[in-house]
DNA sequence: TTGTAGGCGTTATCAT
DNA sequence: ATGATAACGCCTACAA
């Protein structure tokens, strides 16, 4: 393992010059540059990222906090992988590495320590919970001026940098798709109300209904927990009132598929199925029988956006912006898209 | 941000003593320890992981190389998430952090640089390719004595530390399950022969057949690329010879489901479907219609094992083992399990 | 049991 | 355009 000193000697320059050449800073004579590069090459010199981080007191790592998922089974791994890839892509472009952390069930994440330990320079939180402990931790982060971004969860009344998809519009699209085809008796299987995501979907559904001069029948508003099983259970209600229901919109694909399963279990033939629309456009949607119409969420792009936000922020933008507008627009919503498949076509 | 110096002053000791207390090394008077801890607490001191890494020239990071998956869509995200969780779990237990890297399509990974840059202390490779460039890179890694572990891919003739599932046995189980029920005309839709995984599955299939005094009909050996679409295409062959086929074993769930889709597209009713067995026991298996019998692969446990191997190795084992046996047993196979669902039951 | 001091490999500042 | 050199914050002999 060649050291920088050796390179400097071989090239006949000082160590500082070696640094400058390799980091491409400062004015350097072409000749010197060549010599250094050549010596470095010859000796197979690789600068230590560790020493560099230390000297700069920057780790060069972008932290990513993954939610706790019991053996990754509760939620689909699908969208976390997508987001992670998106983040990783942007991170690489700017020369940062990804430090991935898995949240444990109980433990209240101490985000600030992560920064103080200097393990990370910025942080993306995928599994933010909506409880007071979490909120406090995030507020502290913000107060100490650490760059971070929350994905998939909105904290009302805060000015956190947030990236999410536009679930209001997404749900509206789904409902419109159904009402446009003449479906009137629409059941909505939402996720737990504690997620901002679920609340937004509900808003979107209501808007969509209103646009069609209809209203969501409260007795057709069901709640699951985003698991397939909960969809399967909801199928009981739906089966009982099958004649009063001609379409089902579920807040994610897994629940939609769960409902289909539940109906099958109860011996209901496919031709008697209501129309189905799911959400997320995960792999499962196209594998479903019948293939499931679903609201596509640009998880990959969301990951990219979140990473970019943080990287830009860190790089050089002045902390104080011209107008206070910026504090209003810390939430970034990406558009969804309805992917129509057989499950929802008359 | 309190510094160590301040803590030392407040506690009335030297900085070295602060270090010793916080790292729990060396003999320390109880009284001193108390003072230091208290001072540290009071000042909210958090040691810099960066400086520590630098001083120890150990990053404390476990590298994980993810395969290139175009937008994470080609393979199911499922098993990478599982393995990653398993790795993360064990890493945390031993105080290491996870540095996740995504491979790019063309680029030949330069693994050694990762170590030389001291970004990571050990490395798990999930997406190892079976080409000469990759092999050379891994050999160099080994030669330089860097701890690493390859998952899901076997390099014959090498003594790399490898972790995989026992695909021979897994495939044998699948075939036996079918033959035990009297299925005789079994088609096998394998993945590309270039993966050691596929080769092992084929072996297992052949063994299973032999055990039932049968042979795999070469014209019923199909090859896909592990994508759903390739399964859908294979369905053409299968549909054409439906009367000569009473069961289909696919090398992963996605292809199995793809075949089912393909048959449906061709208007073949479910009751005429052959029996189906998939592989991986991914989420998709239980969402399939009919629910898909599948060979469960313990991805999570594989991740844990790989991480443990590396961590143990680094911690303190003498590099030279007593017998050369260890070099023989560098490949670790975890058992699979057949999960029986409706798709394969008469 | 505790303090002192050298070293780790860069970056960055100041001279030159 | 380049060279010296002082940090950076911690670990770890070695000394006391």
Q: What are phi and psi of B36, to 5 degrees?
A: -65, -50
pLDDT over threshold 70, residue A112: yes
Asked if residue B40 keeps its beta carbon closer than 7 A to nucleic acid strand D, the reply is no
pLDDT number for residue B317 = 42
Cα torsion angle, B226, B229, B230, B232, sign: positive
Mean pLDDT lowest for which of A40-44, A135-139, B205-209, B244-248?
Answer: A40-44
pLDDT band of residue A138 (cuts 50, 70, 90) is very high
Taking the C-alpha atoms of residue A40 and residue A18, their distance in angstroms, rounded to an integer, is 9
Domains of chain A plus CATH, in order, are 4-56 (1.10.260.40), 61-165+301-334 (3.40.50.2300), 167-297+337-344 (3.40.50.2300)
| DSSP code, position A244 | G
Taking the C-alpha atoms of residue B292 and residue B339, their distance in angstroms, rounded to an integer, is 9
Q: For the whole model, what pTM was predicted? A: 0.92
Tokens 């060069």 label which residue? A60
- Compute the average pLDDT of residues A108-116: 89
Taking the C-alpha atoms of residue B259 and residue B110, their distance in angstroms, rounded to an integer, is 39
CA distance B334 to chain A (A): 17
| DSSP code, position A241 | T
What residues in B contact A82, CB-CB < 8 Å?
Answer: 71-72, 77
Tokens 């001291």 label which residue? B118
pLDDT number for residue A168 = 98
pLDDT over threshold 70, residue B192: yes
Selection from A28-42, A318-332, B72-86 with the highest mean pLDDT: A28-42
**Model pLDDT for residues A323-332, shown as the tens digit of each residue:** 444 445 689 9
Burial grade of B127 (CB within 10 A; 0-12, 13-18, 19 or more): buried
Which residues, including other chains, have CB under 8 Å from residue B131's CB and lie 6 or more apart? none
Greater confidence (A291 vs B77) lies with A291
**Model pLDDT for residues B11-58, shown as the tens digit of each residue:** 999 899 999 999 888 888 899 999 999 999 999 999 999 999 999 999
Taking the C-alpha atoms of residue B123 and residue B163, their distance in angstroms, rounded to an integer, is 13
**Residues in chain B, total:** 346
B53 CA: nearest nucleotide by C1': D10
Q: Which helix (H) or strand (E) holds A70?
A: none
pLDDT band of residue A274 (cuts 50, 70, 90) is very high
pLDDT number for residue A109 = 83
* CB-CB under 8 Å, A101 with B49: no
Mean pLDDT lowest for which of A97-106, A153-162, A272-281, B68-77?
Answer: B68-77
B120 SS3 class: coil
**Model pLDDT for residues A221-236, shown as the tens digit of each residue:** 999 999 999 999 999 9
Taking the C-alpha atoms of residue B234 and residue B229, their distance in angstroms, rounded to an integer, is 9
Taking the C-alpha atoms of residue A127 and residue A150, their distance in angstroms, rounded to an integer, is 8
Which residues, including other chains, have CB under 8 Å from residue A328's CB and lie 6 or more apart? none
Q: Which helix (H) or strand (E) holds B277?
A: strand B275-280
Measure CB to CB from residue A100 to each of B73, B77, B100 and give the nearest one.
Answer: B100
| Contact (CB, 8 A) for A71 and B81 | no
B98 SS3 class: strand
Q: Which chain A residue's Cα is nearest to B73? A: A283
CA-to-CA dists, residue A338 to A190, B86, B177, angstroms: 18, 35, 41
Taking the C-alpha atoms of residue A203 and residue B326, their distance in angstroms, rounded to an integer, is 62
pLDDT number for residue A340 = 98
What residues in B contact A113, CB-CB < 8 Å?
Answer: 46
pLDDT over threshold 50, residue B178: yes
Cα torsion angle, B67, B70, B72, B75, sign: negative
pLDDT number for residue B3 = 87
pLDDT band of residue A24 (cuts 50, 70, 90) is confident
CA-to-CA dists, residue A33 to A9, A21, A25, B61, angstroms: 14, 6, 11, 33
**What does the longest C-alpha to C-alpha distance in chain A come to?**
87
Which of A71, A254, A335, A245 lies closest to B82 in space, CA to CA? A71
| Contact (CB, 8 A) for A214 and A175 | no
The average confidence (pLDDT) of chain A is: 90
- Compute the average pLDDT of residues B135-152: 94
pLDDT number for residue B154 = 96
- Compute the average pLDDT of residues B269-276: 96
Greater confidence (B69 vs A112) lies with A112
**What does the longest C-alpha to C-alpha distance in chain B come to?**
88
Taking the C-alpha atoms of residue B80 and residue B127, their distance in angstroms, rounded to an integer, is 10
- Compute the average pLDDT of residues B64-81: 72
- Compute the average pLDDT of residues A203-224: 97
pLDDT over threshold 60, residue A319: no
Tokens read off for B67? 């395969």
Nearest protein residue to the C1' atom of D1, measured from CA: A28
Q: What percent of chain B has pLDDT over 90?
A: 76
| Contact (CB, 8 A) for A119 and A85 | no
Classify the phi-psi angles of B71: left when phi > 0, otherwise alpha if psi is within -120 to 50, otherwise beta: left
Taking the C-alpha atoms of residue A51 and residue B217, their distance in angstroms, rounded to an integer, is 61
Tokens 């060396």 label which residue? B26
Cα torsion angle, A133, A138, A144, A148, sign: positive
pLDDT number for residue A316 = 45
* CB-CB under 8 Å, B73 with A119: no
Taking the C-alpha atoms of residue B203 and residue B199, their distance in angstroms, rounded to an integer, is 6
- Compute the average pLDDT of residues A151-156: 95
B23 CA: nearest nucleotide by C1': D11
Cα torsion angle, A231, A237, A239, A243, sign: negative
- Compute the average pLDDT of residues B142-157: 94
In whole angstroms, D9 C1' to B49 CA is: 10
Asked if residue B152 keeps its beta carbon closer than 7 A to nucleic acid strand C, the reply is no
Tokens read off for A304? 């990219």
pLDDT number for residue A74 = 44
Asked if residue B47 keeps its beta carbon closer than 7 A to nucleic acid strand D, the reply is yes
| Contact (CB, 8 A) for B227 and B255 | yes
In whole angstroms, D7 C1' to A55 CA is: 9
pLDDT number for residue A27 = 84
Mean pLDDT lowest for which of A258-262, A282-286, B282-286, B327-331?
Answer: B327-331
Tokens read off for B282? 């991914």
pLDDT over threshold 50, residue B326: no
A104 SS3 class: coil
CA-to-CA dists, residue A276 to A37, A255, B264, B271, angstroms: 62, 11, 19, 24
Burial B191-208 (b: 16+ CB within 10 A, else e): beeebbbbbbbbebbbeb
What residues in B contact A116, CB-CB < 8 Å?
Answer: 1, 46, 48
Nearest protein residue to the C1' atom of C13, measured from CA: A16
Strands B97-102 and A97-102: antiparallel
């Amino acid at each position: 393992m060649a050291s920088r000193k050796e390179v400097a000697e071989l090239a006949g320059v000082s160590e500082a010059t070696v640094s400058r050449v390799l980091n491409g800073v400062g004015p350097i004579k072409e000749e010197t540059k060549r010599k250094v590069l050549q010596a470095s090459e010859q000796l197979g010199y690789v600068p230590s990222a560790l020493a560099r981080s230390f000297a700069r007191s920057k780790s060069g790592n972008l932290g990513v906090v993954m939610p706790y998922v019991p053996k990754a089974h509760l939620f689909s791994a699908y969208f976390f992988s997508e987001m992670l890839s998106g983040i990783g892509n942007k991170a690489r472009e700017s020369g940062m590495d990804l430090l991935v952390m898995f949240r444990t069930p109980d433990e209240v994440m101490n985000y600030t320590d992560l920064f103080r330990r200097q393990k990370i320079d910025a942080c993306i939180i995928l599994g933010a919970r909506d409880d007071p402990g979490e909120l406090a931790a995030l507020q502290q982060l913000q107060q100490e001026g650490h760059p971070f971004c929350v994905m998939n969860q909105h904290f009302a009344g805060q000015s956190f940098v947030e990236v999410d998809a536009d679930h209001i519009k997404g749900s509206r699209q789904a409902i419109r798709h159904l009402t446009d085809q003449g479906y009137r008796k629409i059941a909505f299987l939402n996720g737990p109300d504690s997620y901002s995501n679920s609340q937004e979907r509900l808003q979107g559904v209501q808007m969509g209904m209103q646009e069609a001069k209809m209203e969501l029948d409260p007795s057709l508003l069901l709640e699951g927990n985003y698991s397939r099983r909960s969809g399967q259970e909801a199928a009981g209600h739906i089966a009982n009132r099958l004649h009063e229901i001609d379409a089902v919109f579920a807040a994610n694909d897994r629940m939609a598929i769960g409902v289909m399963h539940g109906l099958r279990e109860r011996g209901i033939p496919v031709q008697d199925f209501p129309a189905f629309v799911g959400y997320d456009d995960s792999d499962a949607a196209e594998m479903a029988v019948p293939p499931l119409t679903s609201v596509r969420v640009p998880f990959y792009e969301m990951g990219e956006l979140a990473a970019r936000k943080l990287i830009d922020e860190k790089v050089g933008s002045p902390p104080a912006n011209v107008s206070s507008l910026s504090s209003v627009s810390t939430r970034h919503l990406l558009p969804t898209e309805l992917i129509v498949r057989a499950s929802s076509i008359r």
